């Protein structure tokens, strides 16, 4: 399971301490969900876990420093999208 991400749905029955402990053990730092290392807001109507991870990561990389123009923003988005695409294993199981 090395490098595989787990998307946890956060349903009340799946949010027990036992379930989260098992996820922490099986997916060390590699699970997305309520109470996980990559948090996801419960019952978000707009984003799936994967979308939340992707756009959150994209924004954190794009806005590491101020953007001066629209052209610079588009160029930075293109570069960051390529970096995310090339991250080892990030889309291996999608």
Give residue-wise pLDDT tens across range 4-52: 777 676 677 667 888 888 888 888 888 877 777 777 766 556 667 677 7
Write down how long the chain is.
94
Residue with tokens 């953007």: 67
Give residue-wise pLDDT tens across range 44-80: 566 676 777 788 888 999 999 999 999 999 999 999 9
Angle at 80 between CA 78 and CA 84, to 5 degrees: 120
Q: Answer for the pair 58, 81: CB distance below 8 angstroms, yes or no.
A: yes
43: left (phi over 0), alpha (psi -120 to 50) or beta: left
Query: Helices 49-62 and 70-85, interaxial angle, to 10°?
Result: 130
């Amino acid at each position: 399971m090395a490098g595989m991400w787990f998307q946890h749905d956060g349903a009340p029955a799946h949010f027990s301490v036992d379930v989260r402990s098992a996820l922490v053990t099986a997916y060390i730092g590699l699970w997305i969900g309520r109470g996980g290392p990559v948090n996801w807001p419960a019952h978000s109507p707009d984003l799936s876990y994967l979308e939340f991870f992707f756009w959150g990561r994209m924004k954190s990389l794009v806005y590491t420093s101020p953007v001066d123009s629209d052209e610079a923003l588009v160029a930075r988005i293109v570069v960051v999208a390529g970096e995310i695409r090339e991250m080892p294993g990030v889309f291996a199981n999608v």
